[in-house]
Structure formats: structure tokens, C-alpha cells
């Protein structure tokens, strides 16, 4: 047990990554220097955005370097410390990567009081995905009571929170998800008004049925055909927060742009991109509000936890093959 297992990026994938994309290494556990501390990582977050970090192109964050530890959000416990702000036993969330131990000087991480809640919640609704939903939907989507909100990836870590906040704010919430099981979960467990199964049928007729007053906010996690279809149903003045485009991340060809984007013109509608980091100074506010909603039973979250760092690759695949049920997390 005296080694640090690390999952390193071995090559840049084209299209869907393969087993060779990463390489598992066993290295010595590092020692914290002055002003540093050592964290034993308990949980690693798996997010669709990771696919983007692997491409060698300009984005909101530099790409992961070849032979570097794969970037990932993490939560773990301080086990050794030369840092005044972190003492042994403190929980730390941050971007420590797919490995078992990490040394940090405190950058890119934050001490986290879990209030006795399961630590994995802080990689889910009380972490990045939750903040993405909270700020992206409320700040970019600007929902108003009585409006109709559609969200794709509705059973996912971000989408599930968007729809539940839509309900809290008095909106009609309609999800789009893949498969009857996910759709049932979204409606029966999360309380959405409806959920369209894009694998079963026609998204267009589903929108027609479930959004009789059109679509005022479309929170997009998937891009592709679904974005194009929703564009045909938006109302005047609609807002479309662009959070992701999971349908396009493993494309070998060019991304499919939304052919119906001129619906923005006709409807004086807006499409706006968002990156959660922009609300960094308000994470505490979002976290407090969502923790309160959780206590009140208004906001539910589900984590899908796999175990073992050696299972990183098959777990990663579950981000894209529709197999995960809830926020995907790896216990390392």
C-alpha cells in the first residue's frame, strides 16, 4: 500500500478513447514540501468535459499533457500537512487528477466541510455539476415562473439538477434522456413534468406533446440533432444556455452545427455558452442553497459509483454509452 497508483494520459485519442489512451503507473507516494500538504484521494469525478481536455486545442483550460496524470475533480482527506490552512483530517475538493495521492500547495483546491454528508456528494450536486446547473440555469437561462424549461441529459449530473431547480422556481420542466428507465427516474423520482426518450421516438413530437406553450429555456448538454430539433420549438425571447455537447465530443469529423440556428433570429432568441469557473466566488452561495433544498427534500441527487483506479477506462466509457445512472464517480 505504499505506492501511488496514477492514471496517465498515454496518447491523444481521435474519436472515442480506447484502453491505450491511458496508462496505469505505480509510483512512490510524494512527500509534501514546506507549505504543502498530502491528500489521500477518496473519490474521482468523471465528467464529459474530460474528453475535451484531451484534445490539443485552445479551450477554456489547457489540454492535459501527454504523460501527465489525467485531470479530474477529486475529493480526499489530508493525511500529512506543512500548510497552515490544511490540517490532517480535513476534506479537500479540487482538481487532483486520477490518482490515489497528491501533494498540493492549496491551488486548485478548497477545504470542504462536508457537514457529515457523504463526501461523494461534493463531486455531484454539491460540487461542479451542481454549480454548473445552478449558475448556468439561473444566470444564463433566466427562468421565470410559469415558463417551460427543457433540459437534455436530464438524468445526468447537471441536467437532473437543472430540471429540479426549474420546478423549484415554478417552471414546467421537461427532460430529454435515453431509455425508459432514465425517463421514469426523471419523472417519478426527480419530479419533472415529463421526460422524452430520444432513443424511443421522435423528439419533435415529444416536444409538441409536452411543451404545448413552446420552449422558453433550453439547457443544452448534448448538441447535435436534439439541439436542432428543440430550436424549432423555441418561443420568442427564448434563452439557450450551452453547457456541453456530449453527442459531439467523440466525433472524428467536424462538429455538427445547429442548422436551425436561424430560429434564433426569427424568435429574437439567445444562445450563450457557460463555464462554471466564472462563478467561482459564488460556489459557497450555490452550495448552501442546494444543501438547503436537499434537506427540504426538494433536490435529489444520485451517484453512480464504481470502484478501483484500474477500472478507470471502463468507467470513463459509461459517460458516453448511456450506462451510468447518476453522477459518475470512481472510488480510488
Q: Quick check: 273 binds a second copy (CB under 8 A)?
A: yes
**Is 260 or 289 the residue whose CB approaches a second copy more closely?**
260
The 8-class DSSP code of residue 99 comes to B
Q: Of the candidates 199, 208, 268, 282, which one interacts with a second copy according to CB under 8 A?
A: 268
Q: Of the candidates 69, 271, 319, 332, which one interacts with a second copy according to CB under 8 A?
A: 271
Q: Quick check: 270 binds a second copy (CB under 8 A)?
A: yes
Binding segment for a second copy among 126-134, 146-154, 262-270, 303-311 (CB under 8 A)?
262-270
Q: Quick check: 28 binds a second copy (CB under 8 A)?
A: no
Q: Quick check: 267 binds a second copy (CB under 8 A)?
A: yes
Lay out the site mask for a second copy across 277-306 (x = CB under 8 A, - = otherwise): -x----------------------------
Q: How far apart are CA 140 and CA 239, in angstroms?
A: 7
Residue with C-alpha cell 490518482?
99
Q: Quick check: 252 binds a second copy (CB under 8 A)?
A: no
3-state helix, strand, coil in the chain (%, to 5): 30, 25, 40
Helix axes 159-168, 283-295, angle to 10 degrees: 70
Q: Of the candidates 142, 248, 250, 289, which one interacts with a second copy according to CB under 8 A?
A: 248
Q: What length does the chain have? A: 332
Q: Quick check: 62 binds a second copy (CB under 8 A)?
A: no
* Paired sense of beta strands 3-9 and 22-28, if any: antiparallel
Please give the size of the binding site for a second copy, defined by CB under 8 A.
Answer: 33
**Is 168 or 264 the residue whose CB approaches a second copy more closely?**
264
Q: Quick check: 262 binds a second copy (CB under 8 A)?
A: yes
Q: Of the candidates 217, 274, 299, 332, which one interacts with a second copy according to CB under 8 A?
A: 274
Q: Quick check: 320 binds a second copy (CB under 8 A)?
A: no
Q: Quick check: 53 binds a second copy (CB under 8 A)?
A: no
Q: How far are the Cα atoms of 178, 208, 245 from residue 200, in angstroms, in the given order?
A: 8, 15, 20
Q: Quick check: 208 binds a second copy (CB under 8 A)?
A: no
> Minimum distance between the CB of residue 149 and a second copy, rounded to whole angstroms?
19
Q: How far apart are CA 180 and CA 5, in angstroms?
A: 38
Q: Could you tell me which residues come within 8 angstroms of residue 75 by beta carbon, excluding any fewer than 6 positions away?
A: 41, 42, 43, 91, 92, 93, 112, 119, 120, 122, 123, 127
Q: Of the candidates 18, 26, 31, 59, which one interacts with a second copy according to CB under 8 A?
A: 59
Whether 28 contacts 90, CB under 8 Å: no
> Minimum distance between the CB of residue 263 and a second copy, rounded to whole angstroms?
8
Q: Quick check: 272 binds a second copy (CB under 8 A)?
A: yes
> Minimum distance between the CB of residue 25 and a second copy, rounded to whole angstroms?
31
Judged by DSSP in three states, 147 sits in coil
Handedness of CA 165, 246, 181, 229 (dihedral sign): positive
> Minimum distance between the CB of residue 59 and a second copy, rounded to whole angstroms?
5
Binding segment for a second copy among 107-115, 188-196, 250-258, 307-315 (CB under 8 A)?
250-258
CA angle, 206 then 137 then 208, to 5°:
15
**Is 59 or 200 the residue whose CB approaches a second copy more closely?**
59
Judged by DSSP in three states, 307 sits in strand
Judged by DSSP in three states, 329 sits in strand
Q: Quick check: 212 binds a second copy (CB under 8 A)?
A: no
170-206 burial code (b ≥16 CB/10 A, e <16) = ebbbbbbbbeeebbebbbeebbbbbbbbbeeeebeeb
* Paired sense of beta strands 37-45 and 22-28, if any: unpaired
Question: Interface residues with a second copy (CB under 8 A)?
Answer: 58-60, 223, 228, 242-245, 248, 254-275, 278
Amino acid at each position: 500500500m505504499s505506492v501511488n497508483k496514477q492514471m496517465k494520459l498515454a496518447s491523444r485519442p481521435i474519436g472515442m478513447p480506447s484502453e491505450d489512451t491511458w496508462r496505469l503507473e505505480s509510483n512512490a507516494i510524494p512527500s509534501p514540501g514546506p507549505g504543502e500538504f498530502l491528500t489521500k484521494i477518496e473519490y474521482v469525478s468523471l465528467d464529459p468535459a474530460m474528453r475535451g481536455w484531451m484534445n490539443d486545442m485552445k479551450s477554456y483550460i489547457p489540454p492535459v499533457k501527454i504523460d501527465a496524470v489525467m485531470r479530474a475533480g477529486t475529493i480526499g482527506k489530508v493525511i500529512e500537512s506543512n500548510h497552515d490552512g490544511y490540517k490532517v483530517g480535513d476534506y479537500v475538493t479540487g482538481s487532483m487528477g486520477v490518482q490515489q495521492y497528491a501533494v498540493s500547495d492549496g491551488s486548485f483546491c478548497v477545504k470542504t466541510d462536508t457537514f457529515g454528508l457523504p463526501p461523494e456528494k461534493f463531486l455531484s450536486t454539491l460540487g461542479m455539476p451542481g454549480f454548473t446547473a445552478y449558475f448556468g440555469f439561473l444566470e444564463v437561462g433566466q427562468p421565470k415562473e410559469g415558463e417551460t424549461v427543457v433540459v437534455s441529459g436530464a438524468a445526468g449530473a447537471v441536467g437532473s439538477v437543472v430540471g429540479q431547480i426549474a420546478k423549484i422556481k415554478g417552471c414546467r420542466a421537461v427532460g430529454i434522456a435515453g431509455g425508459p428507465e432514465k425517463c421514469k427516474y426523471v419523472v417519478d423520482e426527480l419530479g419533472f413534468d415529463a421526460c422524452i426518450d430520444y432513443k424511443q421516438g421522435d423528439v419533435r413530437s415529444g416536444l409538441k406533446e409536452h411543451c404545448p406553450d413552446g420552449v422558453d429555456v433550453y439547457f443544452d448538454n448534448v448538441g447535435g440533432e436534439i439541439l436542432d430539433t428543440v430550436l424549432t420549438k423555441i418561443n420568442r425571447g427564448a434563452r439557450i444556455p450551452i453547457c456541453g455537447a456530449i453527442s459531439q465530443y467523440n466525433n472524428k469529423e467536424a462538429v455538427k452545427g445547429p442548422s436551425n440556428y436561424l430560429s434564433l433570429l426569427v424568435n429574437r432568441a439567445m444562445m450563450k455558452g457557460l463555464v462554471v469557473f466564472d462563478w467561482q466566488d459564488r460556489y459557497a452561495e450555490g452550495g448552501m442553497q442546494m444543501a438547503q433544498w436537499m434537506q427540504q427534500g426538494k433536490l435529489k441527487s444520485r451517484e453512480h459509483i464504481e470502484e478501483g483506479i484500474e477500472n478507470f477506462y471502463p468507467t470513463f466509457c459509461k459517460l458516453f454509452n448511456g450506462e451510468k445512472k447518476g453522477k459518475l464517480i470512481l472510488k480510488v
